[in-house]
Structure 1
Amino acid sequence: MRNLTLAVLCAVIAICLCHGDSDNSVSAPDSHSSEDFFVKRDTASSFVKRLKRNANYSPQQLESLREVCEVNLACEHMAETAGILAAYQQYYGPIPF
């Protein structure tokens, strides 16, 4: 649920920034290039691999791992950057299911 909220918030910010740029485009040159809107292939593939790994677990199982990991701030931070499965295994050992 947090991921969905974060995605919606990022989309709203992106729309606001794009809308703000269009108002000033008459006086300022366009400094955006098409490279600003694309992700490098290795970054995208690592994200897709992480999604595939998470697909093996039900949303309830992943949520229970998140609840355990929320208690430890270091685990919660690692879960946001590396994924919940990697963070749980790093701080609590093998996944129990």
Structure 2
Amino acid sequence: MKTVAIVILCTLAVLCLTSDASTSAGSQPAGDNPAQEGVFVEREQAATVVRQKRATELTLAQLESLSEVCEANIACEHMMDTSGIIAAYTAHYGPIPY
């Protein structure tokens, strides 16, 4: 009895999914279909969507910790002197962990 119920539910699910796909594909023009455009977006557009703002400023101890990590890398240390610690750490090590 359980097997029959599972088979019926799977059949209904397949029917619902295929009927939704055929009606939504037929309702949009071919050029406006987002699936045909691909999953890639411009870097700036992705950055605005993904970028997260910190709620508070970093403390002096946190800045010192970032500075110590950055001083171990000569390129990061040079960038820290010219662009600032946050920009240098982010460029060389990724997002700030706190």
TM-score by length of 1: 0.43
Larger of the two Rg values belongs to structure:
2
TM-score by length of 2: 0.43
